[in-house]
Structure 1
Amino acid sequence: MTSPNGSTDVLRVEHISKRFGTVTALRDVNLRLAKGEVLGLIGDNGAGKSTLMKIICGFHQPDSGRILIDGEEVSVKSVDHARSLGIDTVYQDLALINELSVYHNMFLNREPVRFGLLNNRKMRALARAHLDDMGVHIPSVEVEVAKLSGGQRQAIAVARSVYSRSKILLLDEPLAAMGAKEGVQILDLVRDLKARGEVSMMIIVHNYAQILEVCDRVNLLQHGSITFDRPTARTSVQELTDLVVAEYRAARNGLRSV
Structure 2
Amino acid sequence: MTAPNKVVEMTGIEKRFGPVEVLRGVDFELYENEVLALLGDNGAGKSTLIKTLSGYYQPDAGQIQIGGQAVSFGTPHEARDHGIETIYQDLALFDNLDVAANVFAGKEKVGGGWRKMLGFVDRKAMRNEAREAVSQMAINIPRIDQEVSAFSGGQRQCVAIAKSVMWGRKVVIMDEPTAALGVRETGKVLDLIRTLKSHNLSVIVIMHNIEHVMEVAERAIVMRSGTRRGTVNLNGPQDRESHDEIVKMLM
Match of 1:130 among 129, 133, 146: 133
Cross-structure match for 1:206: 208
- 2:66 maps to 1:69: yes
Secondary structure class of the residue paired with 1:112: coil
Q: Is residue 2:39 matched to residue 1:36?
A: no
Shift of 1:113: 1.0
2 CA distance for matches of 1:93 and 1:24?
26
The amino acid of 1:155's aligned partner reads C
The corresponding residue for 1:160 is 163
Q: How does 1:1-258 map to 2 (within 5 A)?
A: 6-114=3-111, 115=115, 116-194=119-197, 196=198, 198-233=200-235, 235-245=241-251
Shift of 1:104: 0.5
Amino acid at match of 1:152: Q
TM-score by length of 2: 0.93
Report the CA distance between 1:230 and its aligned residue.
Answer: 1.8
1:212 Cα deviation from its structure 2 partner: 1.2
Query: What does the per-residue CA deviation read over 1:110-133, in whole Å, with 9 as the maximum and x for residues that have no partner?
Result: 011110211111111111111001
SS in 2 for 1:138: coil
Q: TM-score, normalised by structure 1?
A: 0.90
Aligned length: 241
Pick which of 36-45 and 232-241 moved more: 232-241
Change beyond 3 A, Cα 1:67–1:90: same
Unaligned runs of 5+ in 1: 246-258
Aligned to 1:236, the other structure's residue is in SS state helix
Amino acid paired to 2:242: S
Offset, 1:243 = 2.6
Identity %: 40
Work out the CA distance in 1 between the residues paired with 2:120 and 2:69.
39
- 4+ long deviations beyond 6 Å: none
